[in-house]
């Protein structure tokens, strides 16, 4: 492992336009036959390879119980990629790609299997010239995370620390205590800097665009504070119901499913201070600070809902209780609206309202920054009566873009000022061929860039924000809302109380 | 894709005609233009290539394109717009085709550039001789100039390089996957030592790309590296001779991948795509400024 020259010692690397990874790497997928591996991981690796972003010396090791050899795994991977990749398989390229795929059958419960895996990985490492970075991706139900990290540690696959990383999928615990317990177990084998907690939301191009929008432009940041912003609304709306995942959802509910991770992470991006540098620790420090300043969710400032029957996009859909595997007396919330307050210099007094739920009117994720009204309007009341405050909306999905609402004179003989929307759709300015979030994140894990991964302190703080409410919501009933609506009426009242209203996305 | 085209009009009427196209279609009132692209065509073949390439890159990079072709008359223009494959995206591309007296073309282009956005000049075909005023005027307007030494020759490109700040050569871009594969051969410590003994390379490929590869190695290593070329339409094989040892990157048949091998290295597969012009060009539109390794390689290639 030590016979590698440092890349800066290779004069031919200077100035090469590699957007991708250059150092050799081996990527092991635990749970390689599972749903996530088929739908996301294998297609993402394939597309990275096709885009020329993988290191020239690279290999994949699939690991699962099913017995098969390399060839069978290659066929399996091909079928998965054919079914789920955003680009079709290029037959001219396939043989080269397939030769990088290997398979190792084994269970999670036996340390002998991990020692055997270590031999496979070492063998491949040697084959590709040695010194490979090693990424272990835990794509298994989270109940297996502890045994797998333990097995990796026992087989010394956790070393050397500079080259080895472990990627874990959410959930990162289901409350503060279990998140800490999980971290403790993981930290017995891996240093925190080796642990990459993946939240695919953070790999979305448009989520990353929030950084660019805020910190690459001089004109927005000065007004990005309580001096000019009245409040912020973050909406993560899904139009689907629980589908076939009721058993999982019954255990989880909307707060664990969306708020604790995606929503608070997006909020942190909007609220954080500018990092000194766009590198992992600076960015994650600032995000963690924003979360630390965020008060925990409060019962009296939150509304829970559960979807009833109704119509979504013209289609009649079931009441939550009628979904297969949902108990008749379930009080699992499928919707939340809440007010969050951030106690720091920038945001004190400017609330962040969040809402997310299933079976809402349409699928949309957006952040709306609502500005204060002008201190004085030098127009007659009639002239400006239809004028709304300025707002800036960052649309994350679908229709990624930014729109700015401002007042303009309507072409009428008497002075009349109306709100107009200026819409910028990045859609295709730069994103012709938008990579999947998993492509971005897998590549980062391979290159060892953890900027877009969640650090343990943020995970814990997010649970601290959510736990009290989850606890209080154990009892009592959520309010029903019609499928296809924007949630229960109480959500509107929550804002009306503060003299505000939700925008219609 | 919906495309609308005007008839031939005066250059002074172009902006109004474009505005009319915009208004006519219920396009959004905001256009997200990211760059100006001026495409110089010398003949009908170039014109065809330009249109094909613009069709492919237009939907991903909102731009105003100007296709410029010399003709014997006062410049006239024809404008068209298209809004990509997907109306919802509201991307609105503008295409201005300009034909007229060579000397009058730069001023026509100047009057039609979208303000304050970078200007890319893609010069197809051969480059005019030294001291050509039209070329110099065009370069003056340009943020980044894209040429192809496979068409224009290394010497002409080197001459233009002295004038243009951000010059890039598509032939150089074509060698990208090869340079990457070659660089990766020397990441290991023992291979890195052999790099110090690199004396010559054998390339099977086009002359200019071979010369650029050798120029690249000379400039990166700061010493002479011999070149032996066997002509082929695209690069298929590069052998690097390091004292008694040698490294090889070789395309597998007609494939877009090949095998890289060398002392102490297990042979491994490398991607060697030959991308279409549209793809190469699109990549260059995402970059601004000069590319030092290219300029160094070009200087070495020309000196040889
Ligand atoms: N699926 C998604 O869309 C999705 C989305 C976001 C996050 N996630 C997270 O991703 C992770 C994986 O989810 P998934 O849906 O892919 O799970 P899954 O379909 O149930 O896959 C489980 C995988 O683990 C293997 N496995 C199970 N028990 C094993 C054992 N004792 N020894 C060895 N291998 C064993 C299975 O292999 P065999 O088939 O060979 O038994 C299979 O490859 C979970 O943490 C989940 O929360 C999933």
Listed residues B124, B142, B160: the one ending a domain: B142
Residue B25: the pLDDT is: 59
- Selecting among A262, A321, A376, A386, the annotated active-site residue is A262
Q: Among A214, A366, A179, which Cα is nearest to A287's?
A: A214
Whether B137 and B184 map to the same domain: the answer is no
Closest ligand 1 atom to residue A31 Cα is 43
Interface test with A, best of B57, B93, B180, B187 (most A CBs within 10 A): B187
Q: Which candidate from B88, B181, B265 shows the least CB-CB separation from A399?
A: B88
Using CA atoms, how far residue A503 sits from A269, A325, A337, A392, B272, in Å, is: 21, 34, 13, 12, 50
Is A115 considered catalytic here?
Answer: no
- Give the A:B interface size as CB pairs under 8 Å: 134
Whether B79 and B122 map to the same domain: the answer is yes
Whether B39 and B137 map to the same domain: the answer is yes
Whether B56 and B131 map to the same domain: the answer is yes
pLDDT cut 90: percent of chain A above it: 69
How many structural domains compose chain B?
A: 2
Whether B134 and B29 map to the same domain: the answer is yes
Residue B256: inside a domain, yes or no? Answer: yes
Measured from CB, residues less than 6 Å from any atom of ligand 1 are A 31-37, 39, 64-66, 107-109, 139-142, 169
* pLDDT exceeds cutoff 70 at B35: yes
Structure tokens at A247: 């058993």
Residue B192: inside a domain, yes or no? Answer: yes
Residue A411: the pLDDT is: 72
Residue B284: inside a domain, yes or no? Answer: no
* B302 in Cβ contact with B208 (< 8 Å): no
Q: What is the mean pLDDT of chain A?
A: 90
Residue B73: inside a domain, yes or no? Answer: yes
Cβ burial, residue A396 (10 Å; 0-12/13-18/19+): buried
Residue A41: the pLDDT is: 97
Whether B138 and B220 map to the same domain: the answer is no
Angstrom distance (rounded) from CA B39 to CA B122: 5
Whether B100 and B13 map to the same domain: the answer is yes
User: What pLDDT band is residue A94 in, cutting at 50, 70 and 90?
Assistant: confident
Which range marks the domain in which residue B74 is found? 3-142
Chain B environment of A100 (Cβ under 8 Å) = 269
CB contact (8 A) between residue A130 and residue B188: yes
Whether B56 and B133 map to the same domain: the answer is yes
Mean pLDDT, residues A105-123: 93
Residue B157: inside a domain, yes or no? Answer: no
Residue B280: inside a domain, yes or no? Answer: no
Listed residues B123, B142, B161: the one ending a domain: B142
- Residue B282, helix vs strand vs coil: helix
User: What pLDDT band is residue B184 in, cutting at 50, 70 and 90?
Assistant: confident
**A313-362 pLDDT per residue, tens:** 778 899 999 999 999 999 999 999 999 999 999 999 999 999 999 999 88
Angstrom distance (rounded) from CA A505 to CA A234: 10
User: Chain B 43-72, CB below 8 Å of chain A: which residues?
Assistant: 59-62
Angstrom distance (rounded) from CA A235 to CA A356: 6
CB contact (8 A) between residue B187 and residue A10: yes
* A87 in B contact zone (CB under 8 Å): no
Angstrom distance (rounded) from CA A382 to CA A415: 9
Residue A430: the pLDDT is: 55
Residue B38: inside a domain, yes or no? Answer: yes
Whether B111 and B14 map to the same domain: the answer is yes
Q: Which candidate from B61, B266, B293 shows the least CB-CB separation from A127?
A: B266
Whether B28 and B68 map to the same domain: the answer is yes
Residue A385: the pLDDT is: 75
* A152 in Cβ contact with A166 (< 8 Å): yes
CA of residue A434 to ligand 1 center, whole Å: 26
User: Chain B 166-195, CB below 8 Å of chain A: which residues?
Assistant: 176-177, 179-184, 186-192, 195
**A248-263 pLDDT per residue, tens:** 999 999 999 999 999 9
Whether B44 and B116 map to the same domain: the answer is yes
Which residues, including other chains, have CB under 8 Å from residue A212's CB and lie 6 or more apart?
none
CA of residue A141 to ligand 1 center, whole Å: 5
User: What pLDDT band is residue B1 in, cutting at 50, 70 and 90?
Assistant: very low
Q: What angle do CA B163, B165, B168 make, to 5 degrees?
A: 100
- DSSP character string of A241-292: --TT-HHHHHHHHHIIIIIIIIIHHHHHHHHSPPPSSSSHHHHHHHHHHHHH
**B71-111 pLDDT per residue, tens:** 988 889 999 887 655 544 455 678 999 999 998 898 889 88
Residue A12: the pLDDT is: 87
* A123 in B contact zone (CB under 8 Å): no
* A58 in Cβ contact with A23 (< 8 Å): no
Whether B29 and B123 map to the same domain: the answer is yes
Radius of gyration of chain B measured on its C-alpha atoms: 22
CA of residue A171 to ligand 1 center, whole Å: 13
Q: Name which of A266-280, A287-301, B89-103, B188-202 the model is least confident about.
A: B89-103
């Amino acid at each position: 492992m030590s016979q590698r020259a440092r890349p800066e010692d290779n004069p031919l690397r200077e100035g090469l336009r590699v957007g991708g990874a250059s150092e050799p790497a081996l990527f092991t997928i635990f749970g390689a036959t599972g749903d996530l591996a088929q739908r996301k991981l294998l297609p993402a690796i394939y597309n990275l390879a096709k885009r020329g972003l993988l290191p020239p010396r690279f290999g994949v090791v699939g690991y699962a119980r099913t017995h098969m050899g390399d060839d069978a795994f290659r066929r399996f991977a091909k079928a998965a990629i054919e079914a789920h990749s955003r680009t079709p398989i290029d037959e001219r390229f396939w043989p080269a790609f397939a030769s990088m795929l290997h398979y190792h059958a084994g269970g999670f419960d036996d340390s002998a299997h991990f020692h055997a895996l270590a031999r496979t990985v070492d063998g491949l490492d040697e084959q590709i010239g040695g010194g490979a970075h090693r990424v272990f991706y835990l794509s298994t139900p989270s109940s297996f995370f502890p045994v797998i990290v333990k097995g990796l540690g026992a087989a010394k696959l956790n070393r050397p620390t500079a080259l080895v990383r472990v990627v874990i999928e959410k959930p990162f615990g289901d409350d503060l205590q279990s998140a800490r317990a999980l971290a403790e177990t993981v930290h017995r084998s891996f240093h925190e800097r080796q642990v990459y907690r993946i939240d695919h939301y953070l790999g979305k191009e448009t989520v990353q665009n929030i950084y660019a929008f805020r910190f690459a432009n001089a004109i927005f940041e000065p007004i990005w504070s309580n001096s000019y912003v009245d409040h912020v609304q973050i909406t993560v709306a899904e139009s689907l119901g629980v589908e076939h995942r009721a058993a999982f959802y019954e255990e989880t509910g909307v707060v664990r499913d969306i708020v604790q991770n995606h929503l608070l992470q997006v909020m942190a991006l909007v609220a954080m201070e500018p990092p000194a540098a766009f590198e992992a620790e600076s960015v994650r420090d600032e995000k963690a600070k924003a979360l630390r300043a965020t008060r925990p969710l409060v019962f009296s400032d939150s509304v829970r809902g559960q979807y009833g029957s109704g119509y979504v996009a013209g289609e009649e859909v079931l009441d939550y209780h009628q979904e297969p595997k949902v108990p008749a007396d379930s009080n699992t919330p499928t919707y939340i609206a809440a007010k969050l307050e951030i106690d720091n210099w920038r945001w004190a007094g400017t609330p962040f309202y969040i809402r997310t739920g299933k079976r809402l009117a349409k699928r949309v994720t957006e952040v709306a920054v609502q500005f204060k009204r002008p201190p004085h309007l030098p127009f007659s009341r009639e002239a400006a009566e239809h004028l709304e405050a300025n707002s800036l909306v960052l649309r994350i999905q679908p229709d990624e873009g930014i729109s700015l609402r401002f007042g303009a004179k309507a072409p009428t003989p008497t002075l009349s000022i109306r709100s107009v929307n200026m819409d910028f759709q990045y859609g295709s300015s730069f994103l012709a061929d938008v990579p999947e979030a998993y492509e971005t994140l897998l590549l980062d894990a391979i290159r060892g860039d953890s900027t877009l991964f969640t650090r343990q302190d943020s995970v814990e703080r997010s649970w601290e924000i959510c736990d009290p409410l989850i606890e209080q919501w154990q009892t009592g009933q959520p309010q029903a809302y019609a499928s296809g609506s924007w949630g229960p009426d109480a959500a509107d009242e929550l804002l009306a109380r503060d003299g505000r209203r939700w925008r219609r996305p | 894709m919906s495309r609308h085209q005007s008839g031939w009009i005066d250059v002074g009427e172009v902006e109004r005609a474009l505005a009319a196209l915009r208004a006519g279609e219920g396009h959004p009132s905001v256009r997200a233009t990211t760059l100006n692209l001026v495409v110089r065509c010398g003949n009908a073949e170039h014109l065809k290539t330009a249109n094909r390439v613009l069709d492919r890159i237009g939907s991903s990079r909102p731009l105003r394109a100007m296709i410029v072709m010399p003709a014997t008359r006062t410049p006239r223009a024809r404008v068209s717009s298209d809004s990509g494959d997907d109306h919802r995206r509201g991307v609105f591309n503008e295409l201005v085709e300009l034909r007229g007296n060579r000397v009058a073309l730069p001023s026509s282009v100047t009057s039609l550039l979208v303000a304050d956005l970078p200007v890319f000049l893609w010069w197809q075909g051969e480059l005019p001789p030294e001291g050509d005023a039209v070329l110099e005027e065009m370069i003056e307007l340009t943020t980044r100039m894209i040429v192809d030494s496979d068409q224009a020759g290394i010497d002409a490109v080197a001459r233009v390089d002295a004038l243009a700040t951000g010059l890039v050569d598509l032939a150089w871009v074509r060698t990208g996957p090869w340079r990457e594969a070659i660089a990766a051969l020397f990441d290991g410590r023992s291979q890195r030592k052999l790099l110090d003994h690199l004396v010559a390379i054998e390339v099977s490929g086009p002359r200019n790309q071979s010369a650029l590869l050798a120029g690249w190695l000379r400039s990166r290593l700061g010493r002479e590296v011999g070149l032996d070329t066997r002509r082929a339409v695209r690069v298929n094989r590069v052998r690097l001779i390091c004292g008694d040892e040698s490294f090889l990157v070789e395309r597998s048949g007609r494939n877009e991948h090949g095998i890289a091998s060398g002392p102490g290295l297990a042979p491994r597969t490398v991607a060697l795509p030959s991308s279409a012009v549209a793809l190469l060009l699109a990549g260059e539109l995402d970059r601004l400024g000069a590319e030092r390794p290219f300029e160094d390689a070009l200087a070495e290639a020309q000196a040889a």
